[in-house]
């Protein structure tokens, strides 16, 4: 049994291998092994190619998740700043300060070095821009997130009846509870 196995595993020689050295070098073919050991190392080679691609895909998914969380934090901070800045009689810059405070407290690990600006605001609108950096899983890669929220400034006007006020800040859907409640002096027992 051992002798048969040894014969099967020996190399085949090409037909011109027994001639002189030059002729043998020209006609020599790659040695082929007989038997089941012929694909030895193919699985390892497959892992060498597949594992780095799989790990890179996992890193891309993780980086995209961190970017998404940083973006959502920037949007939420800008909305918070716009909500503070659009209220009546708010000092300038208070909306931007509220946005930075919110971004620092809400997600300190996902939005690095947050900054906010109220540039572009007017008497009728508040515009809050929040900018920050996303933590990078790839060294040297810098990702910046910038989100802008614009909202109308609240102002109250009389609707015609004394004591009834309407909020113009949210447009047609901005009717306040004062419209639904009776004006002063209209309460009846």
Per DSSP, the residues of 10-26 read SPPPPGGGGS-HHHHHH
Q: Are residues 142 and 92 in the same domain?
A: yes
Is residue 97 situated within a structural domain?
yes
Q: Over range 145-171, report the average pLDDT.
A: 71
- Rounded Cα distance, 25 and 32, in Å: 16
Is residue 60 situated within a structural domain?
yes
Burial of 50 (0-12, 13-18, 19+ CB in 10 A): exposed
Q: Are residues 78 and 109 in the same domain?
A: yes
Is residue 101 situated within a structural domain?
yes
Nearest to 156, CA basis, from 147, 165, 148: 165
Q: Are residues 117 and 173 in the same domain?
A: no
Domains held by the chain: number: 2
Is residue 133 situated within a structural domain?
yes
List strands edge to edge, sheet with 125-134.
112-117, 125-134, 143-152
Q: Over range 103-128, report the average pLDDT.
A: 89
pLDDT tens, residue by residue, 38-96:
666 677 777 888 999 999 899 999 999 999 999 999 999 999 999 998 887 788 889 99
Q: Are residues 163 and 134 in the same domain?
A: no
- Rounded Cα distance, 161 and 163, in Å: 6
Q: Are residues 148 and 161 in the same domain?
A: no
90 φ/ψ angles, rounded to the nearest 5 degrees: -95, 135
Q: How many CB atoms lie within 10 A of CB 152?
A: 16
Range of the domain at 130: 43-152
């Amino acid at each position: 049994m051992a002798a048969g196995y040894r014969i099967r595993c020996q190399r085949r020689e090409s037909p011109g291998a027994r001639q002189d050295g030059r002729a043998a070098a020209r006609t020599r073919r790659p040695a082929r092994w007989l038997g089941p050991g012929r694909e030895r190392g193919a699985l390892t080679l497959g892992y060498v190619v597949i594992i780095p691609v799989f790990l890179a895909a996992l890193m891309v998914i993780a980086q995209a998740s961190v970017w998404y969380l940083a973006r959502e934090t920037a949007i939420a901070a800008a909305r918070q700043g716009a909500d503070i800045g659009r209220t009546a009689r708010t000092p300038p810059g208070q909306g931007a300060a509220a946005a930075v405070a919110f971004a620092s407290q809400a997600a300190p690990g996902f939005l690095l070095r947050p900054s906010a600006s109220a540039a572009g605001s007017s008497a009728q609108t508040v515009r809050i821009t929040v900018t920050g950096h996303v933590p990078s899983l790839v060294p040297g890669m810098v990702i910046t997130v910038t989100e802008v929220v614009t909202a109308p400034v609240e102002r109250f006007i009389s609707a015609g009846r004394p004591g009834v006020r309407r909020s113009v800040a949210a447009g047609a859907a901005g009717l306040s509870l004062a419209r639904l409640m009776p004006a002063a002096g209209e309460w009846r027992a």
